[in-house]
Amino acid sequence: MKTDIWVTVNLPTPGTELHDVIRRRMPFPSFRFLAEMLCIDEDLLGKRMGISSELLSNATTVGFFPLWESRRLYGLIVALQASCELFEGDVQAAGAFLRSPLRCFNSKAPLEMLITEEGASAVIDLIGRLEHGIPT
């Protein structure tokens, strides 16, 4: 079963339209959907993603995240989509994987690695290696 995270969080699939959404700023409801899918409290998800409580509170009020946080959330969605594909559509298993500390990330969870573009790249690379049976 294929799970389309983009549809679930009410965003267009990657392409020009999504690029425009991120440039305009990621809508707060998409963050809320992500927290639900990951079975994690919104405040904890914000903390894990490096989003301060002040920025999270502001996004709740205005309905959008600033550009930098929007880019972090984009990385999270890409990682969650890839993780769902790795776990054959099992969103709960994908979420558990992203929340679990891993030795290859010095006991950090993949979710915590998504704070930077380099970390997000490392998470996507790891998922790709696991998907193809390449030892990590």
**How does pLDDT run along the chain (136 residues), one tens digit per residue?**
456 777 777 777 777 676 666 676 888 998 999 999 899 999 999 998 899 999 999 999 999 999 888 888 888 988 999 999 999 999 999 999 999 999 999 999 999 999 988 999 999 999 999 998 887 6
Name 128's Cβ contacts closer than 8 Å, sequence gap at least 6.
82
Q: Domain range holding 113?
A: 5-131
Q: Can you read off the two tokens belonging to residue 97?
A: 């994987």
* 12 within some domain: yes
* 74 within some domain: yes
The model carries a pTM of 0.82
Which DSSP symbol is given to 13? P
Total domains in the chain come to 1
Burial of 70 per CB tally in 10 Å (0-12, 13-18, 19+): buried
* 136 within some domain: no
